[in-house]
Amino acid sequence: MGTLSAKDCVPCKGGVPPLSEEESGAFLSQINEDWKLVENHHLTRTWAFPDFANAMHFTNSLGGICEEQGHHADFELGWGRVVAVIYTHKIDGLTESDFVLAAKFDEVR
């Protein structure tokens, strides 16, 4: 089996259950340890930068991945930091694609 980052996000049409805590834990072990699993509902990670321009450039890079994958994260951008929050809005929970997107983000920096 390939790494998560080699996979593509699969659009969720709804009607599927979110991942169980056990399933989320298995996927969590395959992404950067800086990702936090919050109440088995979403993933979050914060990156630090020396200034706003670098943080903005990084956010735009992540946004490009989101567009390419058709799966969109929520971002908080500020001076010297970027926060990403990932979950599948359609089911208000986590799917494998959320971990795939996180793994793709891990490869940017």
Q: Where are the domains of the chain?
A: 20-106
Is the per-residue pLDDT at 103 higher than 50?
yes
The secondary structure element, H or E, covering residue 16 is none
Q: Cβ atoms within 10 A of the Cβ of 67, count?
A: 10
* Confidence label for 71 from pLDDT (cuts 50, 70 and 90): very high
Share of the chain above pLDDT 70, in %: 98
Mean predicted confidence (pLDDT) in 34-61:
98
Specify the pairing of strand 36-38 against strand 42-48.
Answer: antiparallel
CATH fold of the domain at 20-106: Gyrase A; domain 2 (3.30.1360)
| Alpha-carbon dihedral sign for residues 56, 87, 9, 90 | negative
Q: Quick check: 2 pLDDT over 70?
A: no
Residue listed under structure tokens 């450039």: 57
Residue 60: predicted pLDDT: 98
